[in-house]
Structure 1
Amino acid sequence: MMLKAVILIAGPQKGTRFRPLSLDVPKPLFPVAGLPMVQHHIEALASLPDLREILLLGYFPAQQLQQFVADMMATYKIRIRYLQEYQALGTAGGIYHFRDQISSGNPDAFFVLNGDVCGDFPLQEMLDFHTNLTTPSLITIMGTEATRQQSTMYGCIVEAKDTHQVLHYVEKPSTFVSNLINCGVYICSPDIFKRVGEIFNSRQDFYSDDSEGNESIQLEQDILMPIAGTGQAYVYTTDSVDPSAVLGPNVSVGKNAVIGAGVRIRESIILGNTTIQEHSCVLYTVVGWNSTVGAWSRLEGTPCDPNPNKPFAKMDNVPLFNNEGKLNPSITILGCNVSVPSEVIVLNSIVLPYKDLPRSYKNEIIL
C-alpha cells in the first residue's frame, strides 16, 4: 500500500485568539509540549511504514515555513512539501486545487489532518480499520466522545453501531445530535476528488455571473453531510472514555483503554487495553495492561509526593516495609491482567500480574 498525507494549516488571518503572539509566529508553529504544534502531526505520520509524502496546505507566505519544512525533512527522513493556496479555499477546496500533487504516484489512500488538532494520533489503528472495511469507504472519520454540552461545538456524527457507517452528520448543531464528534482526522480514497469536483463545478455554474466565483469548499458541510447515510462514510472511534467520567488532575490513559460511565480517576496511570467499569474510583494508582476493574470498586493509594509548599522539599526513598515488617502506605499498583470484581476496595496494596481478586485488600502484597 502507498499512502500520502495532507495537513491543513490555514493562513495568517486565522488564529486571532493567539494574538499578539501569532503576529510573529504562524499558529501551526506554536510550541505544544516542547514542539511546534504541527510537528506532532508529522511525527505521528512519519511512523507509518507505507507513507511516502506529507503535504502542508495553507496560505501562509512560503518563507515563513521554509526552514521548518527543511528541519522536519532532516529529522524524519521523509519527503515534506508546503503547497501555498492563492486564497482561502476551504478544507476540501485546497485538497481539490492540489489534487494532481496529492494523486501523483497513485496513492491507495491519503490522510487529511486539521493542523490545529492536538492529541495522540492512533493512525495505524485507523488505517487498519479503513482497509478492513467490507464495503469500500470514500472517507473514514476519526471520532471521539464528548459531553452533551461540548458536542454542539463540533461536527456531530450518528453512526450505525454494528457497522460504524455514518448515518447522519451535522456541523456544530444548534441542538444536541450525538456525543460522537469529529476529531478532524480523515482517511480519504482518491475517488473523493470526483465528489469534490462535482461540487466545484456546480459552484462555478451557480456563480457564473460573479467574476471571483466561490471556490471555498468545506469537507465537513459540503462532503460529509451529503454522503452521510449513503454507505460511503465510516467512523473510527478512538479510545472509549464515557462523557460522564471525570479524569484529572494528573491522569494518563493508555491506548485502547475503556473508561465507563461515572468513573472518577485522579493522580493515576491507566495502561493500555484496560477496562474501568462504571462508577469506579481510582486514586493514586497504577493499573497494569489488560486489567479489569469492576463496577463500583475503589482503588486507592497514599500519595508520597513531597510537599511543594515546603522549602527544600525532596522525594524520600521510603522502604517498602516499616520496622515492624508491615507494608508502608504507598500508591496502589496492579500488575498486568489483574481482575478486580465489582464493589471491592483495594487500598495501599501491590497486586502481582494475572490475579483474580476475590475480595477487598488493605496494606497487602497479593502474590
Structure 2
Amino acid sequence: MRIQNNMWKAVILIGGPDKGTRFRPLSLDVPKPIFPVAGIPMIQHHIEACSKVPEIKEVNLIGFFHYTEMLKSFITMAKQKYSLSIKYLSEYGPLGTAGGLYHFRDQILSGTPEAFFVFNSDVCCNFPLSDILHFHQSKNGDNRITIVATEATHSESMSYGCLVEDENTNEATHYVEKPETFVSSLINCGVYVFTPDVLRCYMAEVFRQHQEESLEMGMGDSNFPDAIKLETEILAGYAGSGKMFVYKTKEIWGQIKSAASAIHANKLYLSVYRRTKPEVLAKKNPDGPIIRGDVFIHESASVDPTAVLGPNVTLGENVEIGAGVRVSNSIVLSGAKLNDHCCVLNTIIGWKCKVGEWSRVEGTAQQPDPNAPYSKIISGQLFNEDGRLIPSITVLGREVDVAPEIIILNSIVLPNKNIHANSKNQIIL
C-alpha cells in the first residue's frame, strides 16, 4: 500500500439559494444543507463521518449561500463538537459542481494533503470513508480520481450519472450523466476522492478552455465563465484514461432532492443509528409512549405517554405531543405542537406548527421498488411533467396552524397559513 502523506481534507459542495427549489417550502426558512434529517442538519452526517477518519484534518464547505448567522452558528457548533477545522468558502456566484473546487484550489491544497474527499451535500449515506481512503491509496497514479458507485435498477439509473467499470482493474472506462438510453446500472453516488494533481492540471486546463471560449464569445464575467461541471467536464473526460477508479458500495445510499426524499433519508439514517449508535433512539417503556421501530426524540421534546410513535419518526427540539397522538414516517420540526388525538403520517411538520385535536395530516407513502438491488432513496419528485402535484408526502411550512378535525392529504402548505378546511392534492399558497 502506497502512503504519501497522512493528511487528508474533505470538501462538501453545498450549492446556493437558487438550488434546492424542489425542497420548498422548507428551504424558504433554512438553507437546504442544514435542514435537519434524523435529528441533525443534513451535512452534519457528512462531517460526523469525516471526524471518525484520523487522516481527515479539515473540512471545507463550498457554496454561494450568504454567510448568515444560521450558517455561522452551525459551523461553530460543528467545530466544537467534532474538533475539526471547518471553513466556509463562499463563491461569488454559482460556479457549478467543480468551479468552486478550482476557484478555492489554494485553500484546498494548503498543507499539501495527500488527497481530498468531495461530497455532494444532498447525499444520504453511511459513508464508509476509511474503506474508500484505503481503496484510493491502493491505486497507482498521481492524478487519479476515485468515484463511489452503487447499483440501481435500469429505470432509476437513467436519472443519475452512469459508469461502466472494468471489474478486473476497477477502472471506469465510460461515464455518461443522465443518459437518454440505458448505459449501466452502476450509478454515481456523489462521493469522490481527488489527488491534488487533478486540480492543478486537469481542472486548470478545463478552466483555461473556458476562459478562451468566453473571450471569443464575449460572454463576460456576468455569465460565470469560471463555472465548471464536475460530471460532464471532469468525470466524463477522465473515464477511460486509466486514472479514474470505481469503489462500489452495497450500503444504503440516496439523494435528498425534495421534501419527499427527506422522509426516506430520515428512515435510512435512523436505521444506521440502530446499528452504530442505538443509544440515541427512543427506548420502549411500559410507562409509554408506545414506540414502534426506529424513533428519535430530542431530549427537550415533551411526549404524552399515551402517544404512539413510529416507525421512522424524528421529533425535534421542544416538540409537544399530546394524548393519543399517532405519528408515523414523519419529521416533526422544532417547536411544533401536535394536539390530542391528531394523526400525522408520511409528513413533514414545519417549525412551530400546530395541528388541532382529531385532525389528520397525511401523505401517501412511496412503495420501495421490489427490483432495487439495495435499499436506496427514490428521488421523491413532487410534480409530474404536466406540473401537477404527485400524490406524495404532505409538507407544512413554518408556523402553519391546522384547526381541529381537519384532514390534509398529499398537500404542500406554505408558511404562516391558518387551515380551516379539508385539503387534498393541493398546494396552499
- Looking at structure 1, the residues matched to 248 and 194 of structure 2 have their Cα atoms a distance apart, in angstroms, of 16
2:52 aligned residue (39, 47, 56) = 47
C-alpha spacing 1:313/1:99, structure 2 compared with 1 (3 Å): closer
Correspondence for 1:99 = 105
- Looking at structure 1, the residues matched to 92 and 165 of structure 2 have their Cα atoms a distance apart, in angstroms, of 36
Deviation at 1:240, TM superposition (A): 6.9
- Looking at structure 2, the residues matched to 2 and 173 of structure 1 have their Cα atoms a distance apart, in angstroms, of 37
Deviation at 1:134, TM superposition (A): 4.0
Correspondence for 1:278 = none
2:192 aligned residue (169, 172, 186) = 186
The C-alpha deviation readout for 1:283-316, integer Å capped at 9, x for no partner, is: xxxxxxxxxxxxxxxxxxxxxx89xxxx9799xx
8 Å Cα contact 1:53/1:79 also seen in 2: yes
Deviation at 1:254, TM superposition (A): 9.9
C-alpha spacing 1:77/1:110, structure 2 compared with 1 (3 Å): same
1:163 aligned residue (169, 190, 209) = 169
Correspondence for 1:130 = 136
Letter in structure 2 aligned against 1:231:
G
Unaligned runs of 5+ in 2: 1-5, 253-266, 277-291, 294-304, 309-429
Correspondence for 1:198 = 205
**What does 1:225-240 correspond to in 2, within 5 Å?**
225-239=236-250
Looking at CA atoms only, which structure, 1 or 2, has the larger radius of gyration?
1
Matched residue SS, 1:221 = helix
- Looking at structure 2, the residues matched to 313 and 104 of structure 1 have their Cα atoms a distance apart, in angstroms, of 53
8 Å Cα contact 2:126/2:251 also seen in 1: no
The C-alpha deviation readout for 1:150-206, integer Å capped at 9, x for no partner, is: 000000000001111000000000110001000000000000111111011111111
Correspondence for 1:207 = 214
CA RMSD of aligned residues (A): 2.6
Correspondence for 2:179 = 173
The C-alpha deviation readout for 1:226-252, integer Å capped at 9, x for no partner, is: 1110101001001279xxxxxxxx999
Misfit runs of 4+, over 2 Å: 134-137, 250-255, 311-314
C-alpha spacing 1:130/1:253, structure 2 compared with 1 (3 Å): farther
Unaligned runs of 5+ in 1: 242-249, 256-268, 272-304, 315-367
1:224 aligned residue (230, 235, 243) = 235
Alignment length, in residue pairs?
A: 256
Matched residue SS, 1:187 = strand
C-alpha spacing 1:32/1:270, structure 2 compared with 1 (3 Å): closer
Q: TM-score, normalised by structure 1?
A: 0.66
- Looking at structure 1, the residues matched to 271 and 141 of structure 2 have their Cα atoms a distance apart, in angstroms, of 30
- Looking at structure 1, the residues matched to 18 and 119 of structure 2 have their Cα atoms a distance apart, in angstroms, of 20
* 1:33 aligns to 2:34 (yes or no): no
C-alpha spacing 1:107/1:163, structure 2 compared with 1 (3 Å): same
8 Å Cα contact 1:130/1:137 also seen in 2: no
The C-alpha deviation readout for 1:6-34, integer Å capped at 9, x for no partner, is: 00000011111121221110000111111
Q: TM-score, normalised by structure 2?
A: 0.56
8 Å Cα contact 1:3/1:50 also seen in 2: yes
8 Å Cα contact 1:159/1:167 also seen in 2: yes
Letter in structure 2 aligned against 1:70:
T
8 Å Cα contact 1:156/1:169 also seen in 2: yes
**What does 1:218-367 correspond to in 2, within 5 Å?**
218-239=229-250
Letter in structure 1 aligned against 2:209:
S
